[in-house]
């Protein structure tokens, strides 16, 4: 295992260190001095140049530098699929005020945006992502049904005034005829997001005044009033009516494909994504807005996001697996004095100690002086674990342990095949197969990753 030192990001929407920012708590636990008057928004774990992990034993060397010297640590399948880089970016988020209404580009769009505006879109990768709640967590994700939007337009004259009567009528008509919903939604959302700012500000103010006089408010109306306080007169306040409001409890997760609108609103979470920092913004932000690109690139799919509750894969271990090759996430919850084996993964993993104290023993074919074989672990510790490394984790006698582990999605390795024991014994050629993870075929059953005859 390779112990890492990872950076935190002090974005304005983060929670102050003196409050209950989990990012600040993890940063402090890892030995980094924390400014209690600053917001601590994100903890980054990965190789993206905007927030690279460094080797704890040698902070002048990045994880990416080390991987370039030890490519076998990624495993053959990951190397062949993604090249010489960690394919996922692992984060912890502490959200105090809402993040922007945004989307992330698909691969084709990311390549174009990066080529045209590299100072804004700093890499050429797509960014599917998954959010896993560690506290109660609110988010706006994906478009509501056309029926729900029609009802919102009828009940909210301020929204209709900004969207425009022609666009509103098209929404109502598509409900009756069951045709043209996507086109009507695209036109209505684009009309809202590109509306004249003074008109938006006037209608948001009227709406806020009206809601303050109401006795009963829906969850969305309550959110609208909060967002108006955070981002006064912003078009994103009205965009709430277009999007699904999702509330997650700890242990629940959602995933988002490229080109889907969303905004994280409040709470704390684990996040995993393809290695990218590409964000297309259009509301609830003081940052650059690329409204035309966002509106043009959205899928305009309707309906709530898929919610994951995790699958128990062995005692103490829960797996969250979205339909993306780059990543999946494991949660390991060990009661005090218990132990478990985290099986060897065919790709690289990152392990975060969220709470507790204990010990971990690593068993790996990869040998390097920077790698720790056995070490004590505690809150805030972060490790890179090379491919084909098993971990024996033991909780201490006085504290439970909670680990979060990011890995490449298991489906990435589904094409691998097994050489049965009999064949391995009967064919001399098998013993000449050099496996990508550094192992050589023997008389045992062998999983072959892109074997090369040598």
Return phi, psi of residue 116, to 5°: -85, -35
Within 13 Å, how many C-alpha atoms sit on residue 234's CB side? 25
Helical spans, DSSP H, in 249-368: 291-297
Q: Which of 3, 18, 210, 281 is the catalytic position?
A: 281
User: Distance between CA atoms of 449 and 324, rounded to whole angstroms?
Assistant: 20
Phi, psi angles (nearest 5°) of residue 188: -70, -45
CB count within 10 Å of CB 108 equals 12
Distance CA 39, CA 25 (A): 12
- Which helix (H) or strand (E) segment is 28 a member of? helix 22-29
DSSP 183: H
The three-class DSSP label of residue 349 is strand
Helix (H) or strand (E) holding 150: helix 146-155
CB 93 within 8 A of CB 264: yes
Q: What is d(CA 214, CA 332) in angstroms, rounded to the nearest whole number?
A: 46
Return d(Cα 99, Cα 266) in angstroms, integer. 9
281 is catalytic: yes
295 CA to centre of own chain: 22
Q: Are 382 and 53 in contact (CB under 8 A)?
A: yes
Query: For residues 57 and 242, is the Cβ–Cβ distance under 8 A?
Result: no
Structure tokens that stand for 186 in this block = 């695209």
Active site residues: 281
């Amino acid at each position: 295992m390779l112990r890492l030192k990872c950076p935190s990001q002090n974005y304005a929407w983060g929670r102050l260190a003196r409050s209950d920012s989990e990012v600040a708590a993890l940063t402090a636990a890892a030995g980094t001095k924390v400014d209690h008057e600053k917001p601590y928004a994100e903890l980054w774990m990965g190789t993206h140049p905007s927030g690279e992990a460094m080797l704890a034993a040698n902070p002048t060397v990045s994880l990416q530098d080390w991987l370039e010297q030890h490519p076998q640590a990624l495993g053959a399948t990951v190397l062949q699929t993604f090249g010489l880089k960690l394919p996922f970016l692992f984060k912890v988020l502490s959200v105090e005020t809402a993040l922007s209404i945004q989307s992330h580009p698909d691969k084709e769009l990311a390549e174009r945006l990066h080529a045209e505006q590299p100072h804004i879109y700093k890499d050429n990768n797509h960014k599917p992502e998954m959010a896993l709640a560690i506290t109660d967590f609110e988010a706006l994700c994906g478009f509501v049904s056309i029926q729900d939007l029609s009802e919102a337009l009828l009940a909210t004259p301020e929204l209709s005034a900004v969207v425009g009567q022609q666009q509103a009528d098209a929404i109502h008509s598509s409900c009756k005829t069951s045709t043209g919903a996507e086109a009507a939604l695209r036109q209505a959302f684009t009309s809202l997001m590109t509306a004249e700012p003074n008109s938006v500000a006037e209608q948001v103010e009227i709406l806020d005044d009206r809601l303050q006089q109401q006795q009963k408010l829906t969850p969305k109306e309550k959110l609208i009033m909060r967002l108006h306080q955070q981002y006064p007169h912003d078009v994103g306040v009205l965009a709430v009516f277009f999007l699904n409001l999702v509330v997650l409890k700890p242990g629940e997760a959602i995933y988002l494909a490229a080109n889907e609108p969303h905004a994280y609103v409040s709470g704390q979470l684990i996040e995993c994504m393809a290695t990218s920092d590409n964000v297309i913004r259009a509301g609830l932000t003081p940052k650059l807005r690329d409204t035309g690109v966002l509106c043009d690139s959205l899928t305009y799919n309707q309906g709530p996001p898929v919610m994951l509750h995790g699958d128990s894969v062995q005692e103490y271990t829960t797996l969250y697996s979205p339909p993306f090759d780059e990543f999946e996430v494991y949660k390991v919850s060990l009661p005090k004095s218990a132990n478990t084996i985290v099986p060897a993964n065919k790709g690289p993993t990152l392990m975060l100690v969220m709470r507790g104290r204990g010990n971990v023993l690593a068993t790996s074919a990869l040998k390097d002086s920077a790698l720790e074989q056995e070490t004590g672990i505690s809150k805030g510790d972060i490790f890179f674990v090379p491919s084909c490394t098993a971990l024996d984790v033991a909780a201490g006698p006085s504290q439970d342990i909670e680990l979060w582990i990011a890995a490449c999605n298991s489906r990435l390795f589904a094409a691998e095949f097994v050489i049965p024991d009999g064949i391995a014994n009967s064919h001399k050629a098998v013993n000449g197969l050099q496996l990508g993870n550094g192992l050589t075929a023997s008389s045992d059953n062998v999983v072959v990753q892109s074997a090369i005859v040598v």
